[in-house]
Amino acid sequence: MRNTLLSLPRSGKRLVALLFDSIAIIFCLWMAFYIRLSMVDSFTRYYPAFIIAIAVTLPFLVKMGLYRAVLRYMGSDSLIVIFKACSYAAICLMLAGFLSGQAHLPRSIPFIYWLLLLPTMIISRYLIRSWLLEESIADIFPEFFPRRERHSRRGVPVAIYGAGAAGVQVMSALDKGIEYQPVAFLDDKKDNAGRAIQGRRIYRPLSFEQMVQETGVQEVLLAIPSASRQRRMEIVHTLEQHGLPIRTIPAMADLASGRMKMQEIQPVDIGDVLGRDEVEPRQELLEKCITGKVVMVTGAGGSIGSELCRQILKKKPLCLVLYEHSEFSLYSVEQDLIKTQKSTNDCKAVQLAAVLGSVNNPDRLIETLRRFAVNTVYHAAAYKHVPIVEQNIEEGLRNNTLGTLYTAQAAIVAQVERFVLISTDKAVRPTNVMGASKRLAEMALQGLADERSVNLFHSDRFGFRPETKIPVNTCFTMVRFGNVLGSSGSVIPAFREQIRVGGPVTVTHPDINRYFMTIPEAALLVIQAGAMASGGEVFVLDMGKPVKIANLAKRMINLSGLTLKDESNPEGDIEIVYTGLRPGEKLYEELLIGDNVTGTSHPKISMAMESKELWSNYRLALETVFEVARNGRFTDLRNLLSSCVNGFNPTSDVVDWMDQSRQAESKPERGVLNYH
């Protein structure tokens, strides 16, 4: 029964409380008459008083906010509210009795009613709270029981930022565990300063040092679910200056239902430091290419691909095809989506198809697109780690460029309506093969978009003769953006792990900077940009301001409650070590090749007007690129890429493993490779 009550929606809980209080009011008034008149049947003529009692008492209880409070987290402050409400109700009962013709109502009845109703309302509420939370009297009235004695063996003393409903829920949940001991609140509302919630004083942020001295706080927990991202950034910036670890509780919805677990308390999301308030997505754009259609995501198990799948699932496609080369990644994303379907009724009707396949297998691509009659393709499959692609040049080109081209041509053959390429800022004036391979992929789609019919590249692999022209009815577009927070290989999880083990934190260069965006925001903008396309556009997402990686590392150290170890502070906790730029790495990234950019109907999406290569010319150039790559002539390949890709300027020597192996074999010290 306890779990049934806890699982009721807020409106259901309020209704239960109103029914209970109505019964309590009738009972207390009945007892008042019985005490005053000593006989039950002699006051039946006073039945209008019962109606009046309910009519005046319940509105006062509602007006005083008693039904807005979360019963499980009511403290001693609620005594005052109940006292006032019952007092006003008793006075109004007396006045209403006179005004309604009940002038002969015994004058002592309202007073006796008040004496009975007040303890009934108070005791019943605290008994129910005690039953729901399995609390003792000491937990209910902490003001009268010293916390030092009760919690002498408890966990880390923490302050909760946010003295609202969420903060009180966090406090009560923590009181049930042993990991944390809530000892104070922080809140920026002036009216709250100096007050106490169940014995914990509320401090203003300006009194942070005073709070630490008086309570011994060692960590701060954020409980501000309604705050905007900008406001959270401001709060984090204020708190991190004091050098204490800052943590957050992401699943605030679980607090209201009593399902919060201690393992949900995590270090503050770095997105609260780097992010920005997201623009409300336009639903018509999100639904245009998804709702009621068959959608396929290549690279469905990757960081962006999996998030695209989550967002697509919410828009109820007819079928969602997960196309992925890695069996483990495919299984993981499929299970995640199945779990989402089970918890969300709206998504249960969506068919999920987990398809193992490579983007370099035209037969598998065409069969998948045709069998499922795919309408929209989001192509997220790509190798994205710069050093790895630099060391595996041919495979990088084969996957990123040829894989994109094969998937696009398969879409043409299968008459897919729309094809959206997920591109990268590294494709702009690239200094590495990964960026060049993505720019070549963009150029392929730009070339195909301008043709009504094409001779396919490697047409024999698609079952066509070289001279056969295939009509192009697919709308091709691409979306370009920078780094996403929390993706595999991102600096943020790497920094977090380095800080966890005590450092050092490694940064390649003091001046290196990058753009950052959250994965959900990027996925939503990709879907909206793809829906705007008419063919051949390069959409660019607004990434905000670039972030200096060294400063990011310093802030993450501070947010962990540690200090930076450097020349000015040799006794610090964590040192930052600069390791030098990796092969192909740029100091800064760009999003635009030229200056010709126009806005769109979406404030976070722009459209770049860039020069395009004729499909016939591109096709011939690509033949040469892959012939040179297959022969392992990587120095020649770089020169060739420089002529094909605008602004390609490699910044390091060739470090491909196969190339190094061939060079080692030609030397006397045969077989010796430089692994560093």
Q: Which residue has the tokens 């927070």?
A: 485
Q: Six-digit token pair at 137?
A: 């009297």
pLDDT digits (tens, 9 = 90+) for 583-628: 777 787 776 665 677 888 888 888 887 778 889 889 888 889 888 8
319 and 365 assigned to the same domain? yes
Instruction: Please state, rounded to an integer, the average pLDDT across all residues of the chain.
Output: 81
The packing angle between helices 303-314 and 327-343, to 10°, is 30
Please state the rounded mean pLDDT for residues 407-424.
96
Percentage, residues of the chain above pLDDT 70: 82
pLDDT digits (tens, 9 = 90+) for 474-488: 999 999 988 877 666
Residue 561 lies in a domain: no
What lies within 8 Å, CB to CB, of 412 at 6+ separation is: 448, 454, 456, 470, 471, 472, 473, 474
166 and 222 assigned to the same domain? yes
What lies within 8 Å, CB to CB, of 339 at 6+ separation is: none
Choosing from 134, 163, 180, the residue where a domain stops is: 134
Residue 500 lies in a domain: no
Q: Rounded distance, CA 607 to CA 615, Å?
A: 21
Q: Rounded distance, CA 368 to CA 351, Å?
A: 15
167 and 31 assigned to the same domain? no
Residue 584 lies in a domain: no
Domain that holds residue 619: 283-484+516-544+590-644
32 and 69 assigned to the same domain? yes
Q: Which residue has the tokens 């005046």?
A: 56
126 and 155 assigned to the same domain? no
436 CA to centre of own chain: 31
Choosing from 214, 238, 269, the residue where a domain stops is: 269
61 and 111 assigned to the same domain? yes
70 and 155 assigned to the same domain? no
pTM: 0.69
Lowest-pLDDT range of 148-152, 215-219, 411-415, 452-456? 148-152
> Is there a contact between 365 and 296 (Cβ–Cβ < 8 Å)?
no
Most confident of 109-118, 206-215, 374-383: 374-383
Q: 547-548 and 513-514: which strand pairing? A: antiparallel
306 and 422 assigned to the same domain? yes
Query: Residue 464 burial by CB count (10 A; 0-12/13-18/19+): exposed, middle or buried?
Result: middle
Q: Which residue has the tokens 């691909």?
A: 305
Q: Is 336 helix (H, G, I), strand (E, B) or coil?
A: helix
140 pLDDT exceeds 60?
no
Asked whether the bond before 205 is cis by omega within 30 degrees of 0, the reply is no
pLDDT band at 666; cut points 50, 70, 90 = low
pLDDT digits (tens, 9 = 90+) for 51-65: 777 887 788 777 776
Residue 489 lies in a domain: no
Q: Identify which has the larger pLDDT, 533 or 657.
A: 533
Q: Rounded distance, CA 161 to CA 157, Å?
A: 13
Q: What 8-state DSSP symbol labels residue 219? A: E
Q: Is 541 helix (H, G, I), strand (E, B) or coil?
A: strand
150 pLDDT exceeds 50?
no
Question: Which residue type occupies 274?
Answer: L
Q: Rounded distance, CA 214 to CA 133, Å?
A: 29
Domain count across the chain? 3
150 and 291 assigned to the same domain? no
299 pLDDT exceeds 90?
yes
CATH number at residue 600: 3.40.50.720
244 and 119 assigned to the same domain? no
180 and 223 assigned to the same domain? yes
123 and 178 assigned to the same domain? no
Choosing from 134, 161, 192, the residue where a domain stops is: 134
Residue 667 lies in a domain: no
Query: What does residue 296 show for φ and ψ, rounded to 5 degrees?
Result: -120, 135
Residue 459 lies in a domain: yes
Q: Bridge partners of 27? A: none
> Is there a contact between 161 and 186 (Cβ–Cβ < 8 Å)?
yes
Q: Rounded distance, CA 300 to CA 46, Å?
A: 72
User: Which pLDDT does position 63 carry in this prediction?
Assistant: 74
Please provide the distance, in angstroms rounded to a whole number, between the alpha carbons at the two ends of the chain: 64
Q: What 8-state DSSP symbol labels residue 318? A: S
User: Which pLDDT does position 267 carry in this prediction?
Assistant: 67
